[in-house]
Amino acid sequence: MNFQFNGIDHVQLAAPEGCEKEARHFFNQILGWTEIPKPALLQKRGGVWFQCGDHQVHIGVQHDFVPASKAHPAFHVQNLEQLREHLHLNRIQVLDDEARADEGVRRFYLNDPFGNRLEFLEFIAV
């Protein structure tokens, strides 16, 4: 094969029409991700894009929206416990999952404002 995969460019999460204000509040104000401009040709579709570390998260409008309750992106975090405290202060409920603790992985899940499942994890020494 003469091709190779270099990684993920972006993850797209779906949201209902009119989601932009709530998405900006959650992803920018609470999570601290920087909003990035959408290309002009895509702006008319609605939604909003954010930078998360080296990757992008695109919130796209889906007319027949149903949240992703099982399929989810997982975000690698430094200082996961500080993120947990920050989310708690912002009244965001997290769900702990110890399934990978024996591998040195701490993680929790939460739902974004639209019901999409998001995972946040940190690798620790075992």
List, in order, residues 6 or more apart from 77 with CB less than 8 Å away.
Answer: 83, 120, 121, 122
Q: Taking the model in full, what pTM does it have?
A: 0.92
pLDDT at 5: 87
Mean pLDDT, rounded, for 52-56: 94
Residue ranges covered by each domain of the chain: 10-123
Mean pLDDT of the chain: 95
Question: Cβ(68)–Cβ(13) under 8 Å?
Answer: yes
* Higher pLDDT among residues 103 and 33, named by residue: 33
Question: Cβ(71)–Cβ(118) under 8 Å?
Answer: no
Q: Amino acid identity of 112?
A: D
126 confidence band (pLDDT: 50, 70, 90): low
**Is pLDDT above 90 for 91?**
yes
Distance, CA of 108 to CA of 118 (rounded, Å) = 8
pLDDT at 48: 98
pLDDT at 72: 96
Superfamily of domain 10-123: 2,3-Dihydroxybiphenyl 1,2-Dioxygenase, domain 1 (3.10.180.10)
